[in-house]
Amino acid sequence: MTALRNDAARLGAEGVTVGYADRVVLDNLDVAIPTGVITTVIGPNGCGKSTLLRTLSRLLKPRQGTVLLDGGDIARLKTKDVAKRMGLLPQTPIAPEGLTVADLVARGRHPHQSWVRQWSSDDADVVAKALHMTGVADLAHRPVDSLSGGQRQRVWISMTLAQGTDLLLLDEPTTYLDLAHAIDVIDLVDDLHEGGCTIVMVLHDLNLAVRYSDNLIVMKSGSIVAQGHPSQVITSELLLDTFGLQAKVIDDPVSERPLIVPIGRTHVVSKSDQEPS
Amino acid sequence: MTTAPEAPELHRGVRVGGWSWVWRPWTVLVTVVLAALTFLIFCVSIAVGDFTIELPAVFRTLIGQGERVDEFVVMDLRMPRALIGVIAGVALGISGALTQSIARNALASPDVLGITGGASATAVFVVTAGGGSAIGSAFGLSTAALTGGLLTGLLVYFMAWKKGIDGFRLILIGVSVSAVMQALTTWLLVLADIRDVARAQRWLVGSLDSRSWTEVWASVWIMAVLVVVVLVVAFQMQPMHFGDDVAAGLGVRYSAVRAVLLLCAVLLAGVAVSAAGPVPFVALVAPQIAMRLVRSPVPPVIASGLFGAVLLIGSDLIARTVLPNDLPVGVVTAIIGGPFLLYLLVRSNLRRAA
């Protein structure tokens, strides 16, 4: 397991056990998130990947163990201070009907505001920058509910950026998006990474995860079974063991990453290639 | 990515010393107009009565420069009624705005939370079982209703609590408790002596009749404290409209904020019910109309309170002047509020069909 409290990790967990009611989801788990790269958590449904992300973002309180942010126990930090250091985009945010893009993104400044100081020139600058970085500045005065799914997701990411943190946690940012919009949103996430952000996200689409991540965390039944660069981690054995998926791992013709080609029961032409090498 | 963007005027700030807010001229304008309207109806409501006092004379009396005769009529006879109307209206409006924000549901209101139902059941119980005149002085009735309403509200609140408050659970439990209270009220009315029933009915529709300064001052102080708490805490509520996870991500301890605001909503509704009886629909309708006037995507707290006051004392004024035989105010607010509720329901139906 990766060494903890190293210089490369701003966020990590030590021996966390997390559960709902009488079911333990994460059992005594250690993890460290390397700084400055995109880390993606993958794994089959119900393996605890969202739970891990929610634990790291202190939405869930572990029964045992600690989540460390910049070397300190996240549970002992003030919620507002955590929000100044770490941005979070949950799976199902709600935009009230009629709320404009500009107003939504401006809410991202909340951790920096107080009752007497509800809007400063800093706020205005950061919000304008966040709108531009995510390419939604032209939509600023449109109601969020009038936008397409992809645009809406950009707006939410924009709000998270307005928080002014360089550590972003995204829970399935491409859910419900068609492939073109999913690529568009992930490209944006990659832009943010190029701009110096540390990103942790949960993705369902394995090939997107492989293409865009520098660090993969593979989970199965509440434990981490592999972690590292996609080229090293992704093998057909791992896919079979973890996901129960028969697949071939080939070289991606358009990138320097592996490409997963699933083998189903039907529509497979070359039977001889079916067995994982 | 564009560099050095030409910053579009998205939010202009206003700054007073170290204090700053987003400048929203339309919201300010609507709020000021509503406040002015409240004051105007308040004055007209004082001017109109068995004999009319001219408006300028009302103004002069209010600032302490009126004549002796006017002073007596204005300050002692008519002011308590008008003031209690404003207080109950503001309390109901704010209570409704908070409830709807917390439940993220336009149909949530203190009526749904069981406060009104509990107050009604208690009041009817006091009137019918207490033998009428013994306990049933106006003040005793209000206090009993207030206690019953608050207890029911708190009961709903604690039953809905399950590691925090969930909107749907809150409404479901509120509706169930309200139904029980309503059944209890009906049962008591069926069993009761016919003369007591008449008195109970009178209270049940809500009324601003015969208010004393003692009642007014008690309400004023409780209201003032609650409104200050609400205005301070409401700032923390803003991210909560986006869901609990987003709120937590933005550094809001949403469970605590929600608990405080819901408690305020229960207490405010209690103040209103004890002051004016269970006036229906004001809490439901005022935030919804205020939202549309202010063009805000969420119920605006101050404007909702002011519109609640306009609706309540406006209805009272209409009841006393335009309509024959002095109808109680609750009947008029229901006549205005009922159709509006239907409009909301039908409109959301149509939107879903589209």
Domain boundaries, chain B: 25-47+54-59+81-338
pLDDT confidence bin for B352, thresholds 50/70/90: low
What are the φ/ψ torsions at residue B154 (nearest 5 degrees)? -70, -35
> Which residues pair with residue B161 across a beta bridge?
B165
DSSP state of B54: P
Tens of pLDDT along A227-237?
Answer: 999 999 999 99
3-state secondary structure of A97: coil
- A56 compared with B49, residue with greater pLDDT: A56
**Identity (one letter) of the amino acid at B68?**
R
Q: Residue A176, by phi and psi: left (phi above 0), alpha (psi -120 to 50) or beta?
A: left
| Secondary structure letter of residue B165 according to DSSP | B
Quick check: B177 and B185 in contact, CB under 8 A?
no
Calculate mean pLDDT across residues B221-236. Answer: 94
ipTM attached to this prediction: 0.88
Whether residue A234 contacts residue A207, with contact meaning beta carbons closer than 8 Å, is answered with no
* pLDDT over 50 (residue B5): no
Tell me whether residue B113 is exposed, middle or buried, using C-beta atoms within 10 angstroms of its C-beta: 0 to 12, 13 to 18, 19 or more: buried
Q: For residue range B155-208, what is the model confidence (pLDDT) as tens digits?
A: 988 888 777 677 788 888 999 999 999 999 999 888 888 888 887 877 777 767
Partner-chain contact A90 B22, CB within 8 Å: no
Best mutation site among A89, A101, A115 for testing chain B: the one with the most B CBs within 10 Å?
A: A115
Name the residue among B232, B245, B250 with its Cβ closest to that of A111.
B250
**B112 against A50, higher pLDDT:** A50
- pTM (two decimals): 0.87
Q: How many CB pairs under 8 A join A and B?
A: 123
Residue position matching structure tokens 């952000």: A197
**CA dist., res. B285 & res. B267, Å (int):** 19
What distance in Å separates the CA atoms of residue B297 and residue A98, rounded to the nearest whole number? 5
Q: Do the chains contact at B239 and A107, CB–CB below 8 Å?
A: yes
**CATH architecture of the domain with range B25-47+54-59+81-338:** Orthogonal Bundle (1.10)
B11 CB-side CA count, 13 A: 27
The stretch A109-115 carries a mean pLDDT of 91
Q: Which residues of A touch B239 (CB under 8 A)?
A: 107, 110
Edge-to-edge strand order for the sheet containing A9-20?
A23-34, A9-20, A64-69, A72-73
pLDDT computed for residue B34 by the predictor: 96
Query: What is residue B30's predicted lDDT score, i.e. its pLDDT?
Result: 95
The whole-number average pLDDT for the span B255-270 is 89
CA distances A159 to B152, B194, B214, Å, are 40, 62, 50
- Lowest-confidence pick of A7-16, A195-204, B330-339: B330-339
Residues of chain B contacting residue A121, judged by C-beta atoms under 8 Å apart = 13
pLDDT of amino acid B138: 53
Tell me the backbone φ, ψ of residue A66, rounded to 5 degrees: -130, 150
CA atoms within 13 A on the CB side of A116: 4
Question: Residue B1: its pLDDT value, please?
Answer: 41
**Partner residue facing B11 (CB), from A119, A163, A191:** A119
Residues contacting B65, CB < 8 A, separation 6+: none
Determine whether the interchain pair B251/A80 forms a contact, defined as Cβ–Cβ distance below 8 Å.
yes
Q: What does residue B109 show for φ and ψ, rounded to 5 degrees?
A: -160, 165
What secondary structure does DSSP assign to B66-97, as a single string? S-HHHHIIIIIIIHHHHHHHHHHHHHHHHHHH
At B193, list the tokens. 């002596």
The answer, yes or no, to whether residue B122 has pLDDT greater than 70, is yes
Confidence of residue B345 (pLDDT cuts 50, 70, 90): low
B252 min Cα distance to partner chain A (Å) = 7
Distance from CA of A141 to the nearest CA of B (A): 8
CA atoms within 13 A on the CB side of B263: 12
pLDDT score at B351 = 66
Q: In A, which residues are within 8 Å of B10 by CB distance?
A: 102, 106, 124, 127-128, 131, 140
- Mind spelling out the 3-state secondary structure of chain A? CCCCCCCCEEEEEEEEEEEECCEEEEEEEEEEEECCCEEEEECCCCCCHHHHHHHHCCCCCCCEEEEEECCEEHHHCCHHHHHHHCEEECCCCCCCCCCEHHHHHHHCCHHHCCCCECCCHHHHHHHHHHHHHCCCHHHCCCEHHHCCHHHHHHHHHHHHHHCCCCEEEEECCCCCCCHHHHHHHHHHHHHHHHCCCEEEEECCCHHHHHHHCCEEEEEECCEEEEEECHHHHCCHHHHHHHHCCCEEEEECCCCCCEEEEECCCCCCCCHHHCCCC
d(CA B235, CA B284): 22
Dihedral, A70, A76, A79, A82 alpha carbons, nearest 10: 0
Taking CB atoms and an 8 Å limit, are A90 and B251 in contact across chains?
no
Confidence at B90, pLDDT banded by 50, 70, 90? very high
Mean pLDDT of B201-224: 79
Q: For residue B239, what are its two tokens?
A: 């991210």
Quote the tokens at residue A274. Answer: 């079916």
Residues of B in contact with A110 (CB under 8 A): 238-239, 250-252
Interface contact flag, A132 B5, Cβ < 8 Å: yes
pLDDT in tens, B271-303: 888 888 888 889 988 999 898 888 899 999 999
What the block records as the tokens of A166 is 């360089």
Q: Do residues B303 and B27 make contact, with C-beta atoms less than 8 angstroms apart?
A: yes
d(CA B57, CA B74): 10
